[in-house]
Amino acid sequence: MLSRRVRVSVSTQAVVGPSTSPGAAVIAVGEVAEMSVTRLPAVEDHASRQQTTPAASPDTPSARAARGKDARLLAPRRSHGVYAPAPGRADPIGLLEAQSRERVAELVPLRYQRMCESPFRFYRGAAAIMAADLAGTATSGLDVQLCGDAHLLNFRLLASPERHLVFDINDFDETLPGPWEWDVKRLAASLVIAGRAGGFGAGRRRDAVLAAAHAYRTGMRRFAALGNLDVWYAHADVDALLAQFGGVLPARYTRQIAAAARGARGRDRTRAFTRLTETTAAGEVRFRGEPPLLVPIARLLDGTAAAALHGQLARILDRYGATLAEDRRALLDQYRLVDVARKVVGVGSVGTRCWVALLLGRDGDDPLLLQVKEAGPSVLAAHLPPSRHDNQGQRVVAGQRMMQAVGDILLGWQRLAGVDGAPRDFYVRQLADWKGIAVPERMDAGGLALFARLCGATLARAHARSGDRIAIAAYLGRGDAFDRAIAAFAEAYADQNDRDHAALVAAARAGRVPVAPGPQG
């Protein structure tokens, strides 16, 4: 098999710890590295391949690469640059209204208020709209585990179980197997929309999208050359990135990354405990009230109903332990439930049933905060084969475990009938554990492009864990045809998002959708 030396720019960092194979390392942000890349066999045409008995097993790297190149016949790379509203496109406001019917009615106006604030906030809540639009676009036929909502704010700093700070994908409410292109396009359009909000010109916005697409393409190629375990071990450690490349990046970006890392470490369970709770006159620790964003169930419902809901959530927490590994279940058993409150989170999730549970362990200074969040069907479900998981909470957890390099040790799921008798699925995770989120409003154009590279490379790593990374890498190729196509798509879809946002604002003014007075956080 032939190989050649090539120079490629790749854009994420994986730590090689004492027990990690050196092959798991992925070159860090901005570095131009030399590596050996296997030369993939040429594919003459689809028909001739069908008429020839292959010499290699269908599962060899060369055969997988050939399948990837064949996929260009199904969906030429330039076809990804095309977006136009489909004839008979679904009413975007109607899609949002359909979602709202399944949500807590009193919180729906808050969701619309947040989405009306700006095109970017609208986009965060419009995953269902984009899923319907993406269903009509070209795909290569190469599936992966999708995030389903891979906009730029769903990439953030997170804590690993070993207490390292890593950069990874965070939100998996919409996860489902499907075309890898959909996540890339969701990310790319979010970069353009954020760039417009920042006042960046078309050229700077294009630079950010090209950076993300290039990082995805070269990252996937790098992962295609690694063994399976090396791909699984790869993760982006922030401290290692700063230590190795702090002198290469512009000083202002190094300072910003270091500050973000410090801030993320400060956002832990102790800080959340202090911010979200208070001590009553009786000396008991309880959630403080900040309606409508945080409402203790004792203030949300009367005595009998509050007790019933508290009992329901206690049963969820008790039973969900069965979905954890035995050692983690033993840890959970050392905590006792103290209080529960309803919490509003995000934009797209506003109106879903989301609770926070306060548990105490050794004493009153040993808190554990868990988020118990309702999991409904993915917005992708209307356009893809059904999930193999009947429980939607399990679907979310399975997708998160598949895509994330490191995970929450207390991530699990459960189904339980509500106080209204309706069965609902939930997933459970820690509420605050070293989480740091990007603030696009504070980024200059160069910072957005740097962040885009991190996101693109991280998405490639997540997709490489579940999809055929060799076939996808061969499909993408060494040239920038795909990058340029994605940049064109992103601008076109940002225009669509602007139109849809304007339609929601008009619907609010006309009284079609209820909007809370705001802003409310």
For 170-236, the DSSP string reads ---TT-EEEEHHHHHHHHHHHHHHHHHHTT--HHHHHHHHHHHHHHHHHHHHHHHTS-HHHHHH--E
Q: How far apart are CA 25 and CA 164, in angstroms?
A: 16
| Encoded amino acid at 129, one letter | I
Q: What is the mean pLDDT of the chain?
A: 88
Give the residue with greater pLDDT, 463 vs 269.
463
Last residue of a domain, one of 378, 398, 430: 430
pLDDT of amino acid 253: 86
Kindly state whether residue 339 falls inside one of the protein's structural domains: yes
Q: Are residues 195 and 319 in the same domain?
A: no
Q: Tell me which of 93-102, 297-306, 507-516 is least confident.
A: 297-306
- Is the Cα dihedral 86, 89, 93, 96 positive or negative? negative
Angle at 121 between CA 116 and CA 124, to 5 degrees: 125
Q: Is the pLDDT of residue 479 over 90?
A: yes
Instruction: Please state the rounded mean pLDDT for residues 500-515.
Output: 98
Q: Are residues 500 and 390 in the same domain?
A: no
Q: Are residues 129 and 18 in the same domain?
A: yes
Q: Is the pLDDT of residue 162 over 70?
A: yes
> In total, how many domains does the chain have?
2
Distances (CA, A) of 257 to 160, 239, 296, 304, 378: 18, 10, 36, 49, 33
Distances (CA, A) of 479 to 56, 213, 485, 520: 27, 11, 12, 47
| Confidence bin at 361 (pLDDT 50/70/90) | very high
Q: Are residues 329 and 372 in the same domain?
A: yes
Strands (E) in 231-384, as ranges, are 236-237, 277-279, 285-287, 294-296, 336-343, 354-360, 367-374
Q: Are residues 397 and 441 in the same domain?
A: no
Residue ranges making up the domain that contains 280: 268-430
Q: Are residues 27 and 131 in the same domain?
A: yes
Q: Tell me which of 128-132, 156-160, 355-359 is least confident.
A: 156-160
Instruction: Please state the rounded mean pLDDT for residues 61-84.
Output: 97
Kindly state whether residue 359 falls inside one of the protein's structural domains: yes
Helices and strands counted in the chain (H then E): 19, 16
Tokens of 226: 């690694």
Kindly state whether residue 292 falls inside one of the protein's structural domains: yes
pLDDT-above-70 percentage for the chain:
88
Instruction: Please state the rounded mean pLDDT for residues 277-283.
Output: 93
Q: Are residues 82 and 230 in the same domain?
A: yes
Q: Are residues 297 and 391 in the same domain?
A: yes
Q: Are 312 and 418 in contact (CB under 8 A)?
A: yes
**Measuring CA to CA, which residue among 367, 373, 370 is closest to residue 279?**
367
Kindly state whether residue 35 falls inside one of the protein's structural domains: yes
Q: Are residues 171 and 311 in the same domain?
A: no
| Confidence bin at 521 (pLDDT 50/70/90) | low
pLDDT of amino acid 53: 35
Q: Are residues 200 and 62 in the same domain?
A: yes
Last residue of a domain, one of 365, 399, 430: 430
Q: How far apart are CA 248 and CA 394, in angstroms?
A: 42
Kindly state whether residue 475 falls inside one of the protein's structural domains: yes
CA count, 13 A, side-chain hemisphere, 168: 27
| Confidence bin at 432 (pLDDT 50/70/90) | confident
Q: Tell me which of 38-42, 283-287, 390-394 is least confident.
A: 38-42
Last residue of a domain, one of 377, 411, 430: 430
Give the residue with greater pLDDT, 378 vs 161.
378
- Is the Cα dihedral 257, 259, 265, 270 positive or negative? negative
Residue with tokens 């993408």: 476
Each residue's pLDDT tens digit, 203-232: 999 999 999 999 999 999 999 999 999 999
pLDDT-above-90 percentage for the chain:
72
Q: Is the pLDDT of residue 51 over 50?
A: no
Q: Which residues of 267-288 are buried (b: 16+ CB within 10 A; e: fewer)?
A: bbbeebbeebbeeeeeeebbbe
Q: Are residues 423 and 458 in the same domain?
A: no
Give the residue with greater pLDDT, 346 vs 84.
84
Q: Beginning with the edge strand found earlier in the chain, give each strand of the sheet holding 412-417 in spatial order.
A: 294-296, 336-343, 354-360, 367-374, 423-430, 412-417
Kindly state whether residue 384 falls inside one of the protein's structural domains: yes
Kindly state whether residue 258 falls inside one of the protein's structural domains: no
pTM: 0.88
Kindly state whether residue 317 falls inside one of the protein's structural domains: yes
Q: Are residues 167 and 304 in the same domain?
A: no
